[in-house]
Amino acid sequence: MFEPGLKGVTAIETSISHIDGKDGVLQYRGVLAKELIGKYSFEEVSFFLLKGYFPDKKELEHFSQALVKHRFLSEETKKQLELIIPHQSLISAVRSAVSLLDQSNDLWPVNLEEGIQLIAKLPTIVAYIYRKKKGLNEIEPETNFGHAANFLYMLFGEEKSVNEVDALEAYMILTAEHGLNASTFAARVVTSTQSDVYSAVTAAIGTLKGPLHGGAPSGVIQYMKEAEKSSVNETIRKKLTNGEKIMGFGHRVYKTKDPRAEALKIQFNSIDPKPAWADFTLQLEKETVNELQQLKPGRELYANVEFYAAAIMKAIGISNELFTPIFCCNRMVGWVAHIIEQSEHNVIFRPNAHYRPSV
């Protein structure tokens, strides 16, 4: 059987997450992901994804302390980053930074402690590189803040409001894991060779440099701008005529509403003060869905997670160029969980290739 892109091919068994695209369901280890929002912190959900159960008070304290402890970058790592930052894009520098952390311990099976270090350090890496590229001073991690609050603090150099932190944390939780997507698959393929966690994560980040996996929220902002200048009808028809996608709508897996988008919409509506453009965003979603139903009947194209992720990050004041690096920080949890799972039940990936004669 030949399926381009392995579409529809089952390649692994996993206990980490389950996606039902037909009914719009995303579960983390048997729990609906959207039901975790407001009930559990990023730290608690991360522990759950990594270990398969929710931590008790003592376990959560220990796990949270480990994340805080490993937030900091060594002076040697910073010196090495200084050499990279002027010559690479933000996402490329983030990818290179992960390689710099590798001390060639090459543990097998993969060590969870190394994965926890990466979860803790990546927001610091993103903030450090971003601020250096902008000519801003480095902001050291704040040990009294949770994971999401500290990330925003390092990016902006000031404490953000509770509802802004909650909105980002919701986004981080809802995109922490999503099955065997391109980046997770890349990480598992590398791991299957009995390589290390740093190599696997570097490969995963590399997939996000491509616009088909990691760049969608930035495209949503561009679509918002274009629709505001003309009209939804005109913008959509022009894009479809040119063979362009309507960024933020439709999903390869979900054939109905994206459950993550619905949860993030609630968070977006909770942001206070309400952005001046909030009503336009809500109306844009409604008009776009209606327009797509007329132009592509039967396709069931609804707002996806990227639409409201972009809206939330814009509301917080996060620059477009940070969208993909932030997604890396979110998905790091899922990557590590899959890397651990692959290393514990390992079979090297070696699919066949269908030969097509050139003459």
Q: Cα–Cα distance between 265 and 248 in angstroms, integer?
A: 13
User: Which of 301, 316, 331 delimits the end of a domain?
Assistant: 316
Q: Cα–Cα distance between 249 and 301 in angstroms, integer?
A: 6
pLDDT value for 161: 95
Domain contains 183: yes
% of the chain residues with pLDDT over 90? 88
pLDDT value for 218: 84
Residues 40 and 89 both lie in one domain: yes
CATH number at residue 308: 1.10.230.10
Q: CB of 192 within 8 A of CB of 346?
A: yes
The mean pLDDT of 118-123, rounded to a whole number, is 98
Q: Cα–Cα distance between 81 and 90 in angstroms, integer?
A: 11
Q: CB of 66 within 8 A of CB of 116?
A: yes
Domain contains 243: yes
Confidence of residue 257 (pLDDT cuts 50, 70, 90): very high
Residues 159 and 194 both lie in one domain: yes
Q: How far is CA 150 from CA 56, 71, 184, in A?
A: 23, 10, 26
Residues 205 and 290 both lie in one domain: no
- Please check the confidence at residue 216 and state whether its pLDDT lies above 80: no
Domain contains 1: no
- Please check the confidence at residue 337 and state whether its pLDDT lies above 70: yes
Residues 200 and 327 both lie in one domain: yes
Residues 123 and 176 both lie in one domain: yes
Confidence of residue 212 (pLDDT cuts 50, 70, 90): confident
Helix axes 216-229, 323-344, angle to 10 degrees: 150
The mean pLDDT of 292-311, rounded to a whole number, is 93
Task: Quote helix, strand, coil % in the chain, to nearest 5.
Answer: 60, 5, 35
* Of 217, 221, 196, 251, the residue nearest 330 (C-alpha): 217
Residues 297 and 334 both lie in one domain: no
The mean pLDDT of 150-174, rounded to a whole number, is 97
Domain contains 17: no
Q: The pTM is what?
A: 0.95
Q: Cα–Cα distance between 81 and 112 in angstroms, integer?
A: 25
CATH number at residue 112: 1.10.580.10
Take residue 220 and report the two structure tokens written for it.
């949503």
pLDDT value for 105: 83
Range of the domain at 295: 216-316
Residues 103 and 193 both lie in one domain: yes
Confidence of residue 253 (pLDDT cuts 50, 70, 90): very high
Check if 338 is active-site: no
pLDDT value for 215: 66
Domain contains 352: no
Which candidate in 147, 178, 251, 338 is catalytic? 251
In the 8-state DSSP scheme, what is residue 85?
G
Domain contains 356: no
Residues 327 and 308 both lie in one domain: no
Domain contains 358: no
* Of 43, 23, 26, the residue nearest 35 (C-alpha): 26
Domain contains 69: yes
Take residue 20 and report the two structure tokens written for it.
């039902």
Contacts of 311 (CB under 8 A, 6+ apart): 220, 264, 268, 278, 281
Residues 302 and 330 both lie in one domain: no
Check if 177 is active-site: no
Take residue 356 and report the two structure tokens written for it.
């097509």
* Of 146, 163, 161, the residue nearest 44 (C-alpha): 146
Residues 162 and 135 both lie in one domain: yes
* Of 254, 321, 258, the residue nearest 285 (C-alpha): 258
- Please state the domain count of the chain: 2
pLDDT value for 103: 86
Q: Cα–Cα distance between 26 and 260 in angstroms, integer?
A: 8
Take residue 27 and report the two structure tokens written for it.
């579960």
Take residue 71 and report the two structure tokens written for it.
């937030």
Residues 157 and 233 both lie in one domain: no
pLDDT value for 252: 87
Residues 202 and 303 both lie in one domain: no
